[in-house]
Structure 1
Amino acid sequence: MSCIFCDIVAGKRESHVIYEDDYHIAFLDKYPIDKGHSLVVPKKHHERIIDMDKSGVGNLFMQIPHIARAIMTATNADAFSIAQNNGRAAKQIIPHVHVHIIPRYNDTGTLWTKRSIPSSDELEALAQQIRACVVANSS
């Protein structure tokens, strides 16, 4: 069975990468709940977080602060939510561990169900802004 996120890691599928290291990749959600909604994904395939070892889980979540800070800086978000679902009943759509970072804005509220479909050009422009902030925040 093919995995969309494994295809992204392998470069076989389009994505708008905002961060990458040897073990993780972060990219903009193609169907964002809000502007800047991103996913942080371990490169090694695991369906659920309980399939990972403790150090893998810890290393995944260690990426969240600097990526979230860059997203908030680039988007001028007021806050952010983090979500991580495991299994179909928990609404995990792609069976590969991933953490959602969802910027929140005082003027738009915090709905979980609204989704937009930005163009690839819009996503790439935003990805460039966030990548620049990732670099700035890591120095």
Structure 2
Amino acid sequence: MGCIFCDIIKGDRLGHLIYEDDEHVAFLDKYPIDVGHSLVVPKRHYERITDMEPENVGKLFSLVPKIARSILHSTKADAFSLAQNNGKAAKQIVPHVHIHIIPRFNDKGTIWTKREISKDSDLAELAEKIRNSI
């Protein structure tokens, strides 16, 4: 079975990209915890962060502030959470390293488990807004 994130990176599956460079992409989560929930992903397939060279982990995490600022600006979020899971027991659903950036809103509270399926049209509109903010 193939990797969903590798398919998005190759363009074989729809992904609402908000950032791309030679080694990384960031895109909106199809099943967000909240509006603007995004994933920062290395283009090279690694299942767990422990499979990566330390300098590549650093490059991946160094993108978070820039992308998070744009998400906060575009969604008018009050704060954000980060998550990075490794392995099935840690609730890693897609076995490809990724960092979750989850916008948080004062009037909604902080919920980790509730997810909704977003409409592609809503994701496309939000992705464009975030890309333009980066």
TM-score (norm 1): 0.95
Superposition RMSD in Å = 0.5
Q: Distance in 2 between matches of 1:105 and 1:52?
A: 33
Q: Distance in 1 between matches of 2:71 and 2:40?
A: 12
Q: Secondary structure at the match of 2:126?
A: helix
Q: Distance in 1 between matches of 2:50 and 2:115?
A: 28
**Residue aligning to 1:105:** 105
Q: Distance in 2 between matches of 1:97 and 1:118?
A: 22
Q: Distance in 1 between matches of 2:10 and 2:95?
A: 16
**Residue aligning to 2:133:** 133
CA deviation profile, 1:65-99 (whole Å, cap 9, x unmatched): 00000000000000000000000000000000000
Q: Secondary structure at the match of 2:101?
A: strand
Q: Secondary structure at the match of 1:44?
A: coil
Q: How many residues align?
A: 134
**Residue aligning to 2:86:** 86
* One-letter amino acid of the counterpart of residue 126, structure 1: L
Structure 2: which 5+ residue stretches go unaligned? none
Q: Distance in 2 between matches of 1:36 and 1:116?
A: 12
Q: Secondary structure at the match of 2:32?
A: coil
Q: Distance in 2 between matches of 1:123 and 1:99?
A: 18
Q: Distance in 2 between matches of 1:118 and 1:48?
A: 27
CA deviation profile, 1:24-64 (whole Å, cap 9, x unmatched): 00000000000000000000000000000011100000000
**Residue aligning to 2:73:** 73
Give, in angstroms, the shift of residue 117 of structure 1: 1.4
TM-score (norm 2): 0.99
Q: Distance in 2 between matches of 1:115 and 1:6?
A: 22
